[in-house]
């Protein structure tokens, strides 16, 4: 035992190369998987990776690597780790960094850089990556001395995963990976400028308890902060204890069970009538871990006009940013909810309010017109929901298919839903599914994508095939960029400028070229058959499902309108278009 | 505002102002009494308190930022230095000497056809002197921007409200 300690000490003091330090640091952080792509500037790192025993997924594009890392982080709660080379390797991850920044996903991203001596000389594959990524990372580093590397990596993991999570980038000049230094990973992280507030202020909690006891029409708007804090149970307990109904943001879905009587659905541009009207009529709005995104609030001038606003968020900058807030609570969602549950306060008398909401729920459910002979995209999502018992991990891109999935896949559990919310990134769903499946090998993973977005990152089918990941990729094929087409129909006099793409590859043959089973359906009956077949197979399957091309997402809050000005709430309203 | 004096820190801060669409009137940066820590003073024109609060919060989120103070409504000592090059003929020189005296400004360079005047003080004072000198023909002006401290005693709070200083 004593010998081992001495051995350990000796190892710590050993002089090793920067590349080796990186590998040792990743082991110390218990990193299970790296998503990456090699290149000139990271050759020394990849050489050490070769026999390190760390699992590395070679995606076919750096964008695929970072989206996969995002999917992994979303499902596992652990940081996603990415390695990309300098120059184009690094610039290819810019979209993913921004996406992770917007949706608060913890990532630690290593980029290669040209050697220190030639930085600034426009060397081959040189790009000012720290400069480029400053506004789209939570923090970033460029290594100047090999000795700093362990400290930087340790800080990066700490910053990425604590407070409001986010991506941290470490730019490593090539010579920093070959030079040697002492490896000491035991030093504590010391960041005086970074001390996130985790526990709520007691006084503010009391204020909220008081506000709840006086409220007649309270509502909770729960965002992804609840998921990051692992606070789903507490949210349910609190809502039930106080009899307060719950609305989710797009990213929050699954934090509260969709089949719960207190659940009102998703809010915002394509939210449910009940959720949006509840936000309009409420007298107390308790925001837990949501950032009042414009797609949630609609026109701010008529957002929650009758409400006292309370906002629980771990990021103080989000409180009061978009909506004036009476009761600010800077805290981790779980800690705040635990505190709220413990408080003795008279619960709100919400019976009348709940009766009103129940009436709306019954009178204005999500609707679509099912027409025989065509495959309605909404129906397709319902079929996937039923086949997977509502328990699958579902990933999407952005657009119509994303909204239909959010509306019709009724998530019962947290951390089953992986979507690009804030940035709205096409091509996100497929690589994200790879990361999600690697984070949970047992889960059924369905990647629901549009025919547009799929073609942006489809090269990652190769990874799915290579790793034999039994992901079901469902292309909701309307031969158009559906949401763009919808906006052009509604707001640009049906001038479909470059949004219709009937010229597309044979997706089934494409799947087969990747050695993946491909199935196609053009009617509902065919879809039932191919979906059943796909979900009975424990292997990757690509499904090309042709859906009604002119279907729109409803209800809808038009841009610039208030949440109460939704259109398409009832079927007959569609004729108003 | 105090920050870790690390590579790129100024870039981070100014980038943040650009990203959030805040307009910087002036910046001053320099070392503090503690090694590795710099002080930055910003003058920013904002529409309302809420924007000022947002700027403060966003700055605080930066890992390298140690402390941010909005000192707009406090009693402060604010100073700026300006160098003003004025075109003069020998006849006008004496006049200028007299003119700048109440400003406690100094002539720091004398040429055949120009003078360089150095003035230190609150921005309004610098502004006033520049205004007076305009009639002689100003060739160039270089201003450092405002740097500031809060006063030791806050009781004598002056109303300096033209801009938010952080």
Does residue A177 register a pLDDT over 70?
A: yes
Is there a contact between B66 and A193 if contact means CB atoms under 8 Å apart?
Answer: yes
A62 is catalytic: yes
Are A161 and A79 in contact by the 8 Å Cβ rule? The answer is yes
- Looking at residue A13, its pLDDT comes to 66
Q: Which of A134, A192, A315 sits opposite B12 (nearest CB)?
A: A134
- Looking at residue A155, its pLDDT comes to 98
Check CB contact of B49 with chain A, cutoff 8 Å: no
Are A37 and A66 in contact by the 8 Å Cβ rule? The answer is no
- Looking at residue B157, its pLDDT comes to 45
Within this chain, do residues A392 and A251 fall inside the same structural domain, yes or no?
A: no
The residue of chain B with its CA nearest to that of A194 is B63
**pLDDT tens digits for A351-388?**
999 999 999 999 999 999 988 888 999 999 999 999 99
- Looking at residue B91, its pLDDT comes to 84
Q: Which of A134, A193, A317 sits opposite B4 (nearest CB)?
A: A193
Average pLDDT, chain A: 95
Residue A438 included in any domain: yes
Pure H helices in A134-288: 149-161, 174-178, 202-214, 224-228, 232-242, 273-281
The residue of chain A with its CA nearest to that of B18 is A135
Our CA-based measurement puts residue A290 at a distance from the nearest CA of chain B, in whole angstroms, of 17
Which chain B positions have a beta carbon within 8 Å of A316's beta carbon? 57, 60
**pLDDT tens digits for B102-125?**
999 999 999 989 999 999 999 999
- Looking at residue B161, its pLDDT comes to 43
Within this chain, do residues A473 and A547 fall inside the same structural domain, yes or no?
A: yes
Does residue A577 register a pLDDT over 60?
A: no
Check CB contact of B7 with chain A, cutoff 8 Å: yes
- What are the b/e assignments for B56-83, b being 16+ CB within 10 Å? bbbbbbbbbbbebebbbebbbebbbbbe
Does residue A20 register a pLDDT over 50?
A: yes
Does residue A287 register a pLDDT over 80?
A: yes
Average pLDDT (A387-402) is: 97
Within this chain, do residues A175 and A230 fall inside the same structural domain, yes or no?
A: no
Is there a contact between B64 and A193 if contact means CB atoms under 8 Å apart?
Answer: yes
Are A397 and A427 in contact by the 8 Å Cβ rule? The answer is yes
**pLDDT tens digits for A106-153?**
999 999 999 999 999 999 999 999 999 999 999 999 999 999 999 999
Secondary structure (H, E, C), A310-368: EEEECCHHHCCCCCCCCEEEECCHHHHHHHHHHCCCCCCCCHHHHHHHHHHHHHCCCCC
Say which CATH superfamily domain B2-67 falls into.
Answer: ACT domain (3.30.70.260)
- Looking at residue A43, its pLDDT comes to 98
- Looking at residue A411, its pLDDT comes to 98
Number of domains in chain A: 3
Is there a contact between B60 and A320 if contact means CB atoms under 8 Å apart?
Answer: no
- B52 contacts: CB under 8 Å, gap ≥ 6: B44, B46, B70, B72, B164, B166
- Looking at residue A556, its pLDDT comes to 96
For CATH 3.30.70.260, list the domain ranges present in chain B.
2-67
Q: Quick one: CA dihedral A180, A181, A182, A186, positive or negative?
A: negative
The residue of chain A with its CA nearest to that of B6 is A141
Residue B162 pLDDT grade (very low, low, confident, very high; cuts 50, 70, 90): very low
The residue of chain A with its CA nearest to that of B64 is A193
Does residue A547 register a pLDDT over 60?
A: yes
Residue A204 pLDDT grade (very low, low, confident, very high; cuts 50, 70, 90): very high
Q: Which of A134, A138, A139 sits opposite B15 (nearest CB)?
A: A134
Is there a contact between A317 and B58 if contact means CB atoms under 8 Å apart?
Answer: yes
Within this chain, do residues A238 and A307 fall inside the same structural domain, yes or no?
A: yes
Within this chain, do residues A104 and A249 fall inside the same structural domain, yes or no?
A: no
For CATH 3.30.70.1150, list the domain ranges present in chain B.
78-146
- Looking at residue A572, its pLDDT comes to 58
Which chain A positions have a beta carbon within 8 Å of B4's beta carbon? 193
The residue of chain B with its CA nearest to that of A128 is B8
Average pLDDT (A180-188) is: 94
| Residue written as token pair 């949501």 | A290
Check CB contact of B114 with chain A, cutoff 8 Å: no
**pLDDT tens digits for A41-54?**
999 999 999 999 99
Check CB contact of B21 with chain A, cutoff 8 Å: no
Residue B23 pLDDT grade (very low, low, confident, very high; cuts 50, 70, 90): confident
Which chain B positions have a beta carbon within 8 Å of A193's beta carbon? 3-4, 62-66
Substitution target in B11, B62, B63, B66 with the highest count of A β-carbons within 10 Å is B63
- Looking at residue B123, its pLDDT comes to 92
Within this chain, do residues A266 and A141 fall inside the same structural domain, yes or no?
A: no
- Among A302, A329, A363, the domain boundary falls at A363
- B67 contacts: CB under 8 Å, gap ≥ 6: B1, B2
**pLDDT tens digits for A409-460?**
999 999 999 999 999 999 999 999 999 999 999 999 999 999 999 999 999 9
Residues of chain A with pLDDT > 90, as a percent, come to: 94
- Looking at residue B153, its pLDDT comes to 82
Our CA-based measurement puts residue B4 at a distance from the nearest CA of chain A, in whole angstroms, of 8
**pLDDT tens digits for B59-102?**
999 999 999 999 988 889 999 999 999 998 888 889 999 999 99
Closest CA to A404 of A461, A470, A486: A486
Does residue A176 register a pLDDT over 50?
A: yes
- Looking at residue A3, its pLDDT comes to 59
CATH number for the domain spanning A106: value is 3.40.50.970
Residue B54 pLDDT grade (very low, low, confident, very high; cuts 50, 70, 90): very high
Within this chain, do residues A225 and A355 fall inside the same structural domain, yes or no?
A: yes
Parallel, antiparallel, or unpaired: how do β-strands A327-330 and A284-288 relate?
unpaired
A124 is catalytic: yes
Domain range for A494:
377-553
Residue A192 included in any domain: no
Residue A338 pLDDT grade (very low, low, confident, very high; cuts 50, 70, 90): very high
Residue A9 pLDDT grade (very low, low, confident, very high; cuts 50, 70, 90): low
Residue A525 included in any domain: yes
Q: Which of A142, A191, A317 sits opposite B63 (nearest CB)?
A: A191
Q: Which of residues 55-94 of B touch A (CB under 8 A)?
A: 57-58, 60-66
Are A482 and A450 in contact by the 8 Å Cβ rule? The answer is yes
Among A12, A125, A413, A489, the one annotated catalytic: A125
Within this chain, do residues A384 and A508 fall inside the same structural domain, yes or no?
A: yes
CATH number for the domain spanning A210: value is 3.40.50.1220
Report residue A452: phi and psi, to 5°. -75, -60
Residue B27 pLDDT grade (very low, low, confident, very high; cuts 50, 70, 90): very high
> B78-146 architecture in CATH?
2-Layer Sandwich (3.30)
Is there a contact between B15 and A144 if contact means CB atoms under 8 Å apart?
Answer: no
| Residue written as token pair 């089953």 | A416
């Amino acid at each position: 035992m004593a010998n081992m300690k001495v051995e350990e000490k000796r190892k710590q003091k050993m002089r090793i190369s920067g590349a080796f330090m990186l590998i040792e640091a990743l082991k110390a952080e218990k990193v299970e998987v790296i998503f990456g792509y090699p290149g000139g500037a990271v050759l020394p790192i990849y050489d050490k990776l070769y026999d390190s025993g760390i699992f590395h997924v070679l995606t076919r594009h750096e964008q695929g690597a970072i989206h996969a890392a995002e999917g992994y982080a979303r499902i596992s709660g652990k940081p996603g780790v990415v390695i990309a080379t300098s120059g184009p390797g690094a610039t290819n991850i810019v979209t993913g960094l921004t996406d992770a920044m917007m949706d608060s996903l913890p990532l630690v991203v290593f980029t290669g850089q040209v050697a220190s001596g030639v930085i600034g000389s426009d060397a081959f594959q040189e790009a000012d990556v720290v400069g480029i990524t400053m506004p789209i990372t939570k923090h970033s580093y460029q290594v100047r001395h090999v000795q700093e590397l362990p400290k930087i990596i340790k800080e990066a993991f700490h910053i990425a995963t604590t407070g409001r999570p986010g991506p941290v980038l470490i730019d490593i000049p090539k010579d920093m990976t070959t030079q040697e230094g002492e490896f000491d990973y035991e030093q504590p992280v010391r960041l005086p400028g970074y001390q996130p507030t985790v526990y709520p202020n007691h006084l503010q909690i009391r204020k909220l308890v008081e506000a709840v006891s006086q409220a007649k029409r309270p509502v909770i708007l729960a965002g992804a902060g609840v998921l990051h804090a692992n606070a789903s149970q507490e949210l349910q307990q609190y809502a039930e204890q106080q009899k307060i109904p719950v609305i989710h943001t797009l990213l929050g879905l699954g934090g509260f069970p969709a089949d719960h009587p207190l659940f009102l659905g998703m809010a915002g541009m394509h939210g449910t009538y009940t959720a949006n009207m509840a936000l309009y009529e409420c007298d107390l709005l308790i925001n837990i871990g949501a950032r009042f995104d414009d797609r949630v609030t609609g026109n701010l001038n008529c957002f929650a006009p009758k409400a006292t606003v309370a906002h629980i968020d771990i990021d103080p900058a989000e409180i009061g940013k978009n909506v004036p807030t009476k009761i600010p609570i800077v805290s981790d969602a779980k800690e705040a909810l635990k505190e709220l549950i413990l408080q003795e306060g008279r619960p709100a008398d919400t019976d009348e309010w709940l009766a009103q909401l129940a009436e709306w729920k019954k009178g204005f459910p999500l609707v679509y017109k099912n027409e025989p002979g065509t495959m309605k995209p909404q129906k397709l999502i319902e079929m996937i929901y039923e086949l997977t018992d509502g328990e699958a991990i579902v990933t999407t891109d952005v657009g119509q298919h994303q909204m239909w999935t959010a509306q019709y896949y009724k998530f019962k559990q947290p951390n089953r839903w992986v979507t690009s919310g804030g940035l709205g990134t096409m091509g996100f769903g497929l690589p994200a599914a790879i990361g999600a499946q690697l984070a949970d090998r047992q889960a059924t993973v369905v990647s629901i994508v549009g025919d547009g977005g799929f073609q942006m990152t489809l090269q990652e089918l190769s990874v799915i095939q290579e790793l034999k990941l039994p992901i079901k990729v469902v292309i909701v094929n309307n031969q158009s960029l559906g949401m763009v087409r919808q906006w052009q129909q509604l707001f640009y006099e049906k001038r479909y400028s470059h949004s219709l793409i009937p010229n597309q590859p044979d997706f089934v043959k494409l799947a087969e070229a990747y050695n993946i089973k491909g199935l196609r359906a053009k009617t509902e009956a065919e879809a039932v058959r191919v979906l059943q077949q796909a979900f009975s197979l424990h292997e990757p399957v690509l499904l090309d499902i042709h859906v009604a091309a002119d279907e729109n997402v409803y209800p809808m809050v038009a841009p610039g309108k208030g949440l109460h000005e939704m259109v398409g709430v009832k079927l007959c309203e569609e004729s108003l278009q | 505002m105090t920050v870790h004096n690390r590579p790129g820190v100024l870039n981070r801060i100014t980038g943040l102002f650009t990203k959030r669409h805040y307009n910087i009137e002036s910046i001053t940066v320099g070392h503090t009494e503690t090694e590795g820590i710099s002080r930055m003073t910003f003058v920013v024109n904002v529409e309302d308190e809420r924007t000022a609060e947002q700027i403060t919060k966003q700055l605080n989120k930066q890992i390298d930022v140690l402390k941010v103070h909005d000192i707009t409504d406090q009693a402060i000592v604010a100073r700026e230095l300006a160098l003003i090059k004025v075109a003069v003929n020998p006849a006008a020189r004496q006049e200028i000497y007299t003119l700048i005296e109440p400003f406690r400004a100094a002539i720091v360079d004398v040429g055949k056809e120009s003078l360089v005047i150095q003035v230190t003080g609150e921005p309004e004072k610098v502004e006033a002197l520049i205004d007076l000198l305009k009639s002689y023909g100003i060739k160039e002006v270089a201003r450092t921007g405002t740097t500031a401290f809060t006063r030791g005693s806050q009781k004598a709070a002056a109303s300096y409200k033209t801009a938010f200083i952080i």
